[in-house]
Structure 1
Amino acid sequence: MKRSTTNDRASALERAGTGWTLAAATYVFAIVMIGTTLPTPLYPRYQAEFGFGNTQTTMLFSIYAGAVIAALVFFGRLSEAWGRKPLLAAGVLVSLISAGLFMLGDQLGLLYAGRVFSGIAAGIFTATGTVAVLENAPPGRRRLATSLATAANIGGLGLGNLMSGTVAEAFPRPLFTPFLIHAVLLLVAGAALLGVRESALSRSRSLRLQLPAIPPESRAVFLRAVPGAVASFAIAGLYSAVAPSFMQQTLDIGSAAVIGAVVFALFGASAACQLLFQGLADRTLVLCGGIIQVACMVSLSIALLADSTLLLVVSAILGGAGQGFLFTTGMRAITAVTEVRNRTAVTTSYFILAYLAMSAPIIGVGVLALVIGLVASTISFAVMTVLVAGLTLLGVGRWSSQRRGVAG
């Protein structure tokens, strides 16, 4: 027994991360997530290039969200059976294929294919990237790793917008160059992946799907978290898919750099709030998040009616802050009450719900815009989101009022 314990400890030490492995895992995660939002500031240019309207833009975004959901289901458990690194390598490769398709994107079909591949890459890393970052942390640095995983995920989404918009304005071939730069960064990520330590123990080669499930012990908390998750990701979807169009058509903003910066403000605020306020009590976070979401939709509606770019930026920051407060609080509360063997399934369910909320309402906004116009359809979306946020506020009393620390 003593020899077995010694071997277990030696094995654990062999798998222990270092500062370098943590940095490598974080970099790979961030670079793949950057690629998922590169097209957002370029949507007005694609509309001019291919002659399609707002509905087509929302479909391009929604097919990405659908691919994320499919990847969560098909690849959610694979890293436990095949190992983290093989699956992360597959995600980098799929992201590289996506970049190549966008670089070749002289046909609308290539854009759709590129969005599908970027969604698959995002789904792989949503299921595996966070775990890889946490498991590559040095002993005693789990809190740092949690913060870095958040920054790589949400921050990567924001940086994709910022990088794409800036590059499109500063360099020739704006529909080609951002993806070329991303392809180079992905090649570096492939090299960095060699330094990421493998920590998954099983090698069963199982092909079981990660079907969504809500175990009995989690159902009450899961249902409590649903309104916040739905509203948060619906707002993120609106800014990712529709905001570029109404910035160009309503506010007369054609600069890809400005569009990218506005969408970056949402994801940057989300990441910052997740990092800065994670120690507050759940009830406080949910109350603040619900109020902020209502303020976000009110300021967005006024921005559209008054043609105010400043209010649009304020709305984006508020939307990101609301997401940062609500989505992470829900995830943390759900995993806290879920047995370890059920956590992958319930986490997958939570993300599937989030991406459905991100895509389905946005399709509705695009279709409704054909009938009543983009401003009116967006304000209708805002009203519905306020109602959902109201459900969040009604349930505040059922959340814990105790502060939650983060283990070091």
Structure 2
Amino acid sequence: MSPTATLALLVSIVVTFLASSAAPTPLYATYGAEWGFGSLGTTLAFGVYAVAVLVSLLVLGRLSDELGRRPVILAGIAGQVVALVVLTTAPDYAALLTGRVLQGVATGAAVGALGAAMLDVDRTRGAIANGTAPGAGTAIGALLAGVVVQFAPAPTHAIYLLVIALLLLQGVGVQRMTETAPRLPGAAARARASLVPEVRLPRAVRPRMLVAAPVVLAVWALAGLYGSLAPSLVRELGGQGVLLGTLALTTLAGVAAAAALVLRERSARTLMLVGIASVAVGVAATLTAVGAGSLVGFFAGSFVAGIGFGAGFQGAVRTVVGAAQPHERAGVLSAVYVVAYLGMGVPAVVAGSLVGHVGDVTAVVRDYGIAVVLLSLTALAGLLRPEAVVPAGPAASAETPVVEAVRA
């Protein structure tokens, strides 16, 4: 398999994994009506997935640095298929939560290996793909699930069966893929040691992570808002139909993927500046529209916020992985995703609890949005510090000097 074909395969798997995680979003209303849970149950189902990803990243995130990328990716695909089978046959809410936990474990195991493999194949294009694929997958999964739920028969089965078929085909492709990180002597012992939960950052990466982490937190907190509460908010604003509710997350994530691709030639610092500024402006516009009861304004603000999500995450990924050596890549990317899923999962669960307590979606969204804006401004202040360390060019390599002052 050629490097280009390998990179395309790896990107497609990331897209499928994130699409799989977004697929249940439009189904929560159906599940809730059948099994008797509301906003709190929805955000709990969303939150347990994020927590499972976090735990899996901490335990399994560095495994492919020792065992190789292919076996870890194949194990992740197998776990994702099992999770989707559980969701397809779920008879109750407990089974839904079980399926979401299994999805989170499989995603956490595979995402670091997939991202590292993309960098192994091509450092420049791999960094761009790492920042683009999550948004593309989330957008495709949410949109496809919305279409299936609204127009296809057996909606709680069809979307999952479609994703299972795609994953099985991708598994065959991984079997044909050349290993990008061959095992070295003593790998088994190091692999066992890597299972001890921790986030280990190489010395050269640490100052970059201090700059990038607030940006990652801000943009993924925004994703958590849309993934957990956007469908309910769209209904509050007068939107009708499952598909329209799903389009909020699709807009945010789809624009994020497009922005990351369009702005790929910009420096990492520029991307993060554009990202956090767009998040702040987009969320402020969204909150204004919610206050005015404008559905059109809500989607316009979501479009601007999506630019921030894509640009900010792309810049953060490039900032951090630019200093990682090949044998450190999976662990470093896993650490980035730990920050991301902390930002996405914890606020979403808290917001869902508040909705269940106060019964007002718009009030909770307003407070959540204000918190995201404040977090964005904090990230901006950190990025503008003179001692902040950010790679200078659009295609920063592992050899980029770490000590590089940012000039405004």
TM-score (norm 1): 0.87
Please say which of residues 108-117 and 280-289 is displaced more in the overlay.
280-289
1:356 and 2:342 equivalent?
yes
Q: 2:80 is matched with which residue?
A: 95
1:293 partner letter: V
Which of 362, 366, 383 matches 1:379?
366
Structure 1 residues without counterparts, runs of 5 or longer: 1-15
Q: 2:403 is matched with which residue?
A: none
Shift of the 191–335 alpha-carbon distance from structure 1 to 2, 3 Å rule, reads: closer
Q: 2:354 is matched with which residue?
A: 368
2:217 partner letter: V
- Cα distance in 2 for residues equivalent to 1:296 and 1:46: 31
- Cα distance in 2 for residues equivalent to 1:343 and 1:266: 28
Q: 2:20 is matched with which residue?
A: 35
| Identical aligned residues as a percent | 27
SS at match of 2:384: helix
1:312 and 2:298 equivalent?
yes
Q: 1:212 is matched with which residue?
A: 199
Q: 2:394 is matched with which residue?
A: 405
- Cα distance in 2 for residues equivalent to 1:129 and 1:20: 14
Q: 1:4 is matched with which residue?
A: none
1:259 partner letter: G
Q: 1:7 is matched with which residue?
A: none
- Cα distance in 1 for residues equivalent to 2:26 and 2:66: 38
1:188 and 2:169 equivalent?
yes
SS at match of 2:37: coil
Q: 2:51 is matched with which residue?
A: 66
Q: 1:392 is matched with which residue?
A: 379
Paired residues of 1:134 and 1:145 also in contact (CA < 8 A): yes
1:260 partner letter: T
- Cα distance in 2 for residues equivalent to 1:402 and 1:79: 26
Deviations 1:92-111 (A, max 9, x none): 11111111111112211110
- Cα distance in 1 for residues equivalent to 2:134 and 2:108: 11
Shift of the 60–243 alpha-carbon distance from structure 1 to 2, 3 Å rule, reads: same
Structure 2 residues without counterparts, runs of 5 or longer: 398-408
- Cα distance in 2 for residues equivalent to 1:214 and 1:167: 42
**1:133 CA drift (Å):** 3.1
Paired residues of 1:163 and 1:260 also in contact (CA < 8 A): no
Paired residues of 1:279 and 1:403 also in contact (CA < 8 A): no
**1:44 CA drift (Å):** 1.7
Q: What does residue range 223-242 of structure 1 map to in structure 2 within 5 Å?
A: 223-242=210-229
1:301 partner letter: L
Deviations 1:29-53 (A, max 9, x none): 3222221110112222222121111
1:317 partner letter: F
- Cα distance in 2 for residues equivalent to 1:193 and 1:94: 15
Which of 294, 298, 307 matches 2:284?
298
- Cα distance in 1 for residues equivalent to 2:126 and 2:209: 25
- Cα distance in 2 for residues equivalent to 1:185 and 1:56: 29
Q: 2:405 is matched with which residue?
A: none
- Cα distance in 2 for residues equivalent to 1:211 and 1:403: 30
Q: 1:258 is matched with which residue?
A: 244
- Cα distance in 1 for residues equivalent to 2:5 and 2:267: 33
Shift of the 212–188 alpha-carbon distance from structure 1 to 2, 3 Å rule, reads: same
SS at match of 1:220: helix
1:163 and 2:150 equivalent?
no
**1:212 CA drift (Å):** 0.5
Shift of the 283–20 alpha-carbon distance from structure 1 to 2, 3 Å rule, reads: closer
Paired residues of 2:112 and 2:331 also in contact (CA < 8 A): no
What do you get for the CA RMSD once the two structures are aligned? Answer: 2.4
Deviations 1:59-113 (A, max 9, x none): 1111000111111122222212222111111111111111111111221111001
1:221 and 2:208 equivalent?
yes
SS at match of 2:155: coil
Q: Tell me the number of residue pairs that the alignment of Structure 1 and Structure 2 aligns.
A: 388
1:172 and 2:153 equivalent?
yes
- Cα distance in 2 for residues equivalent to 1:24 and 1:217: 30
- Cα distance in 1 for residues equivalent to 2:118 and 2:326: 18
Q: 2:402 is matched with which residue?
A: none
- Cα distance in 1 for residues equivalent to 2:112 and 2:371: 30
Shift of the 184–365 alpha-carbon distance from structure 1 to 2, 3 Å rule, reads: same
Which of 47, 54, 65 matches 2:32?
47
- Cα distance in 2 for residues equivalent to 1:133 and 1:402: 20
Paired residues of 2:46 and 2:345 also in contact (CA < 8 A): yes
Shift of the 282–96 alpha-carbon distance from structure 1 to 2, 3 Å rule, reads: closer
**1:407 CA drift (Å):** 7.0
TM-score (norm 2): 0.87
SS at match of 1:211: coil
Q: 1:12 is matched with which residue?
A: none
**1:115 CA drift (Å):** 0.5
Q: 1:13 is matched with which residue?
A: none
**1:234 CA drift (Å):** 0.5
